[in-house]
Structure 1
Amino acid sequence: MTASGVAAPTFTQFTRPSELPGVLRRELAACWATVVNSGGAVIPADCPLPPLTPADLEAAVDRIAEHLAPERGRLLAATLDGDLAGWLLLRREAHPLEAHCGVVNHVQTQVRLRGLGIGLALMRRVHHVAREEMGLERLKLTVRAGLGLEHFYRKAGWTEVGRWPGALRLAPGDDRDEILMSLAL
């Protein structure tokens, strides 16, 4: 149990495409669609504009699965009582000069479970996996300004290291900064 009286999530790590069952792929797509439709999460370039359905994201989930490999890409899923509560993707930078660094993408929690500590628990778990299992020394991620996400990541130990002003255009007249964040492991 967590301090709030909610059961702590269980984590499962997926390191190969064959490990990611079809049921979970559908759950990931459903979570992603819900998060996008609530105003969060990145929309893949080949998807229509919101509102999205899980079917709109199935190909993107399959692409993520195809790139899973123990040394370079892992998917972490958090479950509560056997149901998907959140997930993220961790990948090692491919270039030899950056191979000691990892990138965290697609940090998502079920909208109905927000505020229960699932996201923070995922951040703690990815820290452990990156350092202890993948031998990474630093993590990086980017977030969209205007949602307060940088405050969440600061609370989890991340540091803002820069911004790309107006890099993200959500709609005409709605340009947002892309915030660059880093975590030394």
Structure 2
Amino acid sequence: MTLTFTLDPQIDPALHEALLDLWTDASNAGGAVGFVPPVARDDIRPQLVKQLGMIADGQMRLLVGHDGDGLAAAAFLGLNRHALMGHWIWLYTVMVHPGRQGRGYGRRLMAASADSARAMDGVEAIRLSCRGGMGLEHFYAACGYKEVGRVPGAIRVAPGDDRDDITMLLPLH
């Protein structure tokens, strides 16, 4: 299927609900997108509303990927407002629907995120953080990111299960 990306889509009720479904499904499939399964839509909703509010305030942008079956992927691009850090952005909540994984959608989402960042005035790099213990740093490295920092045990997914918070960087030039 064709995967088509849109930066800054119109966020109507249908997209809002599709994002909520995607985030819930990704979380419940074990995706490291801010929650630990099991989660319900109502668990995700406050964070989605917060991030959509940041889009409305100009602090964040949304990239979505649709295929013939609907919303397949999404990522949030966080803009820096600090005067000394405006030359890089954050990439947050990178998600591919679990039923569509294994089709190269993740790599295509990462490439579309980089292309979107390159089109932004003055943006020279993308930073992201990922949860250790899942191999995500290997996926991001295969997409061109380099590990630039690690905080051991910073993410507590359950009592006795602490994971590293890994920071990765993709220079865009």
The normalised TM-score by structure 2 is 0.92
Q: Given the alignment of the two structures, is residue 33 of structure 1 paired with residue 28 of structure 2, yes or no? A: no
Residues 134 and 109 of structure 1: CA distance in aligned 2, closer, same or farther (over 3 Å): farther
Once residues 170 and 70 of structure 1 are traced to their aligned partners in structure 2, the CA distance between those partners, rounded to angstroms, is 30
Once residues 57 and 39 of structure 1 are traced to their aligned partners in structure 2, the CA distance between those partners, rounded to angstroms, is 14
Match of 1:20 among 11, 20, 24: 11
Q: Could you tell me which residue of structure 1 aligns to residue 163 of structure 2?
A: 176
Match of 2:104 among 117, 123, 129: 117
Q: Given the alignment of the two structures, is residue 128 of structure 1 paired with residue 119 of structure 2, yes or no? A: no
How far residue 8 of structure 1 moved from its aligned partner, in angstroms, is: 3.2
Matched letter for residue 37 of structure 1: N
Q: Given the alignment of the two structures, is residue 88 of structure 1 paired with residue 75 of structure 2, yes or no? A: yes
Match of 1:103 among 82, 90, 114: 90
- CA deviations on 1:36-60 (whole Å, 9 max, x unpaired) are 112223336xxxx632122332232
Asked whether the 8 Å contact 1:32–1:41 carries over to 2, the reply is no
**How many matched pairs?**
172
> What are the ranges of 5 or more consecutive residues in structure 1 without an aligned counterpart?
1-6
Matched letter for residue 134 of structure 2: L
Residues 55 and 23 of structure 1: CA distance in aligned 2, closer, same or farther (over 3 Å): farther
Asked whether the 8 Å contact 1:25–1:58 carries over to 2, the reply is no
Asked whether the 8 Å contact 2:145–2:168 carries over to 1, the reply is yes
Root mean square deviation of aligned Cα: 1.8
Q: Could you tell me which residue of structure 1 aligns to residue 40 of structure 2?
A: 53
Asked whether the 8 Å contact 1:165–1:176 carries over to 2, the reply is yes
Match of 1:11 among 5, 23, 33: 5
Q: Could you tell me which residue of structure 2 aligns to residue 42 of structure 1?
A: 33
- CA deviations on 1:128-181 (whole Å, 9 max, x unpaired) are 111123431011000011111111101100001121011111111111111110
Identical pairs, percent: 37
The normalised TM-score by structure 1 is 0.86
Aligned with 1:77: secondary structure?
strand
Aligned with 1:23: secondary structure?
helix
Once residues 113 and 57 of structure 2 are traced to their aligned partners in structure 1, the CA distance between those partners, rounded to angstroms, is 14
Q: Given the alignment of the two structures, is residue 150 of structure 1 paired with residue 144 of structure 2, yes or no? A: no
Match of 2:60 among 73, 94, 102: 73
